Chain A
Amino acid sequence: MGYFIDLDLVGLNWLRQLILHWVVVLSAVAVLVGFANLFRTHWNKTTNRKPGSGFSLVTLVAMILTLVFVGFFGPTDPLSIWIFNNIQLPIEISLLAILAVVLIVASVRFLSRSPGVFSVIFISTVVVLIWGVASFPGLDFINFSSLRTWILQIPATAGARGLLLGVALGTIATGLRVLLGMDRPYEG
Chain B
Amino acid sequence: MAEIRCHSCGKTNPANSEFCSFCQAVLGSTAVGNVQEPSLNSEYHPTNETLPDPVETNQVSQGRDPSMEGKNPLAGLDNALPLEPTVRDLTKPVVYPVQSSETDIQKAYTLLLSQMVKDETKRPTYTRSAPKKSQSILRIVVAGILFFTILVPILWNKPAAQLPSLSTELILFDQKISELSPGATVLYSVDYDPSATAEMEAASWAVINQLMARDIQLVLVSTTPTGPVQAARLVQNIISTQQNQVGSPLPASQIINLGLIPGGSAGLASFSENPSFFLKDATEMQMGENPASEQTQPVLDLTSISNLAMVVVVTDTPETARNWIEQVQPWLGGKPLMMILSAQAEPLIQSYYEGGIRQVEGVVISVAGGAGYEELVGIKGPALEMWSAFVNASWIAGTLIILAGMIHLVYTQMVQEKQGSGEKTS
Q: Do chains A and B touch in the complex (CB under 8 A)?
A: yes
| Chain A residues near B (Cβ < 8 Å) | 2, 16-17, 20-21, 23-24, 26-28, 31, 75-76, 80-81, 84-85, 88-89, 92-93, 95-96, 100-102, 104-105, 107-112, 115, 123, 126-127, 130-131, 133-137, 145, 149, 152-153, 156-157, 160-161, 163-164
Determine how close the nearest CB of chain B comes to the CB of A140; give it in whole angstroms: 8
Chain A residues near B196: list those with CB within 8 A.
Answer: 96
By secondary structure, the A interface counts as helix
Q: Are A134 and B277 in contact (CB under 8 A)?
A: no
Sample (29) of A-B pairs whose CB atoms are under 8 Å apart: A20-B266, A24-B266, A24-B267, A26-B263, A27-B264, A28-B260, A31-B225, A31-B262, A76-B257, A80-B229, A81-B232, A84-B233, A88-B194, A93-B194, A95-B195, A96-B196, A108-B401, A110-B405, A112-B408, A112-B413, A130-B394, A133-B164, A133-B368, A135-B162, A135-B164, A137-B162, A152-B350, A153-B350, A163-B348
Complex Cα gap A157–B233 (Å): 35
Q: Are B138 and A105 in contact (CB under 8 A)?
A: yes
Chain A residues near B161: list those with CB within 8 A.
Answer: 134, 136-137
Q: Are A100 and B405 in contact (CB under 8 A)?
A: no
Complex Cα gap A134–B371 (Å): 11
Interface string of B267-301 (1 = CB under 8 A from A): 10110011001000000000100000000000000
Given contacts A76-B229, A152-B350, contact A17 B398 (CB under 8 A): no
Complex Cα gap A24–B266 (Å): 7
Q: Are B262 and A76 in contact (CB under 8 A)?
A: no
Determine how close the nearest CB of chain B comes to the CB of A103; give it in whole angstroms: 8
Complex Cα gap A105–B232 (Å): 37
Determine how close the nearest CB of chain B comes to the CB of A14; give it in whole angstroms: 10
- B68 interface residue (CB < 8 Å to A): no
Of the residues A27, A88, A105, A157, contact of B266 by C-beta under 8 Å: A27
Chain B residues near A85: list those with CB within 8 A.
Answer: 233
Q: Are B139 and A107 in contact (CB under 8 A)?
A: no
Complex Cα gap A152–B344 (Å): 12
Q: Are A157 and B350 in contact (CB under 8 A)?
A: yes
Which chain B residue shows the least CB distance to A153?
A: B354
Q: Are A127 and B194 in contact (CB under 8 A)?
A: no
Determine how close the nearest CB of chain B comes to the CB of A2; give it in whole angstroms: 8
Chain B residues near A105: list those with CB within 8 A.
Answer: 135, 138-139, 142
Q: Are A92 and B408 in contact (CB under 8 A)?
A: no
Determine how close the nearest CB of chain B comes to the CB of A27; give it in whole angstroms: 4
- B375 interface residue (CB < 8 Å to A): no
Q: Are A17 and B394 in contact (CB under 8 A)?
A: no
| Chain B residues near A (Cβ < 8 Å) | 135, 138-139, 142-143, 146, 161-165, 167, 193-198, 225-226, 228-229, 232-233, 236, 257, 260-264, 266-267, 269-270, 273-274, 277, 287, 322, 346-348, 350-351, 354, 368, 387, 390-391, 393-395, 397-398, 400-402, 404-405, 408-409, 411-413
Q: Are A27 and B263 in contact (CB under 8 A)?
A: yes
Chain A residues near B408: list those with CB within 8 A.
Answer: 108-109, 111-112
Of the residues B138, B266, B350, contact of A108 by C-beta under 8 Å: B138
Determine how close the nearest CB of chain A comes to the CB of B50; give it in whole angstroms: 75
Which chain B residue shows the least CB distance to A148?
A: B164
Q: Are B405 and A123 in contact (CB under 8 A)?
A: yes
Chain A residues near B348: list those with CB within 8 A.
Answer: 160, 163-164
Q: Are A20 and B135 in contact (CB under 8 A)?
A: no
Q: Are B398 and A131 in contact (CB under 8 A)?
A: yes
Which 7 pairs show the lowest CB-CB distances between chains A and B?
A20-B270, A27-B263, A76-B232, A92-B195, A112-B412, A27-B262, A96-B195
Determine how close the nearest CB of chain A comes to the CB of B168; give it in whole angstroms: 10
Given contacts A130-B398, A134-B162, A134-B163, contact A75 B229 (CB under 8 A): yes
Chain B residues near A145: list those with CB within 8 A.
Answer: 164-165
Complex Cα gap A115–B251 (Å): 60
Q: Are A104 and B401 in contact (CB under 8 A)?
A: yes
Complex Cα gap A127–B393 (Å): 13
Apart from A76-B228, A131-B398, A153-B350, 5 more pairs, CB < 8 Å: A89-B194, A93-B198, A107-B401, A123-B402, A130-B401
Chain B residues near A107: list those with CB within 8 A.
Answer: 401, 405
Q: Are B228 and A21 in contact (CB under 8 A)?
A: no
Which chain A residue shows the least CB distance to B395?
A: A136
Complex Cα gap A24–B265 (Å): 10
Complex Cα gap A127–B399 (Å): 8
Complex Cα gap A135–B27 (Å): 94
Complex Cα gap A123–B226 (Å): 34
Determine how close the nearest CB of chain B comes to the CB of A43; give it in whole angstroms: 22
Complex Cα gap A78–B269 (Å): 32
Complex Cα gap A113–B103 (Å): 38
Complex Cα gap A26–B263 (Å): 8
Of the residues A81, A110, A135, A137, contact of B233 by C-beta under 8 Å: A81
Q: Are B351 and A157 in contact (CB under 8 A)?
A: yes
Chain B residues near A115: list those with CB within 8 A.
Answer: 409
Chain A residues near B390: list those with CB within 8 A.
Answer: 133
Chain B residues near A110: list those with CB within 8 A.
Answer: 405
